């Protein structure tokens, strides 16, 4: 069932989203060659806890980290590890969130580590553009397919693969709520959008092909082609005046 948030709930959720966004900003300042993904995870965990919030990824469905940290061809759900050391030229997606006062925030950003290739720069730019084009369609009266198609059409115009196995989601008292928010679809189809809906919109875009596979750890999702993948995400609120991004630092 889709939950429409009232003004009191939106105020509480905005606080969780602000902390989530700040956690990404803290992580950004720590990203450099030679740092492990486990160290980044620790920085995120300590920051979120310092605000009085809880890292909502930690222990969720058994996940061992406070953030999913995914490097290069890892699409999502990368487990933080002392063994994964960032190097110059990598790209690293960090997906994390906070819970406070019973409500959740969720966001992701793919960062460059040092100097990256032109191919990687374009992937990051286009994937972030996909996110904002999708957000623009999050208007009262539009359909979920309008959000989905805005993302898909932009990515595919560059020949990129849109991950279909994993999608965005509603968010609120639970991190994952109805409805699903796919990154592919048909304009004018799907759930009708209404004021008070809160959505986590999160394009996952591969340079080559949409297919992905899960590694033996049961979490880490990588591109089947071995190509780079990028992931950007905001939690947004649909209002009568248009979409409002809640996860802004």
63 Cβ contact partners less than 8 Å away, ≥ 6 residues apart = 57, 77, 79, 219
Q: What is residue 249's predicted lDDT score, i.e. its pLDDT?
A: 79
Task: Classify residue 169: in a domain, yes or no.
Answer: yes
In a domain, 153, yes or no: yes
Structural domain contains residue 35: yes
Alpha helices in 74-201 (DSSP H): 118-136, 144-156
State residue 130's pLDDT score: 98
**Residue 2: inside a domain:** no
pLDDT at position 104 is 98
Q: What letter does residue 56 receive in the DSSP assignment?
A: T
Give a yes or no: residue 211 inside a domain.
Answer: yes
Q: How many domains does the chain have?
A: 1
pLDDT of residue 155: 98
Q: For residues 153 and 205, is the Cβ–Cβ distance under 8 A?
A: no
| Helix/strand/coil for 34 | coil
Domain CATH number, residue 24: 3.90.230.10
Least Cα distance to 175 among 152, 148, 195, 202 occurs for 202
Could you tell me the CA-to-CA distances from 126 to 11, 28, 81, 155, 156 in Å, in that order?
32, 20, 28, 7, 10
201: which strand partners? 234
CA-based nearest residue to 98, from 10, 167, 2, 22? 22
State the DSSP code for 194.
Answer: -
pTM for the structure as a whole: 0.97
Distances (CA, A) of 201 to 45, 92, 138: 23, 19, 10
Q: In this predicted structure, what is the pLDDT of residue 123?
A: 98
Range of the domain at 47: 7-245
Among 209, 206, 200, which Cα is nearest to 231's?
206
Whether 25 maps to a domain, the answer reads yes
Q: Taking the chain (249 residues) in consecutive chunks of 10 residues, what is each chunk's mean pLDDT?
A: 97 98 97 98 98 98 98 98 98 98 98 98 98 98 98 98 98 98 98 98 98 98 98 98 95
């Amino acid at each position: 069932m889709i939950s429409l948030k009232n003004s009191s709930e939106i105020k509480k959720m905005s606080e969780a989203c602000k902390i989530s966004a700040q956690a990404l900003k803290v992580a950004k300042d720590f990203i450099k060659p030679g740092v492990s993904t486990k160290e980044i995870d620790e920085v995120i965990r300590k920051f979120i806890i310092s605000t009085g919030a809880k890292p909502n990824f930690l222990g969720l469905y058994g996940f061992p980290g406070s953030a999913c940290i995914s490097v290069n061809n890892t699409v999502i759900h990368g487990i933080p590890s002392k063994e994964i050391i960032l190097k110059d030229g990598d790209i690293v997606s960090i997906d994390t969130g906070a819970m406070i006062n019973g409500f959740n925030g969720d966001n992701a950003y793919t960062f460059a580590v040092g100097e990256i290739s032109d191919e990687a720069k374009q992937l990051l730019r286009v994937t972030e553009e996909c996110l904002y084009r999708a957000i623009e369609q999050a208007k009262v009266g539009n359909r979920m397919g309008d959000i989905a198609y805005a993302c898909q059409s932009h990515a595919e115009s560059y020949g990129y693969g849109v991950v279909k196995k994993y999608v965005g989601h509603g968010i609120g008292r639970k991190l994952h709520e109805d409805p699903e928010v796919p990154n592919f679809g048909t304009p004018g189809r799907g759930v009708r959008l209404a004021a008070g809906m809160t959505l986590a919109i999160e394009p996952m875009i591969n340079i080559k092909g949409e297919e992905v596979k899960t590694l033996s750890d049961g979490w880490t999702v990588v591109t089947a082609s071995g190509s780079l993948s990028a992931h950007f995400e905001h939690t947004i609120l649909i209002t009568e005046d248009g979409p409002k991004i809640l996860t802004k630092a």
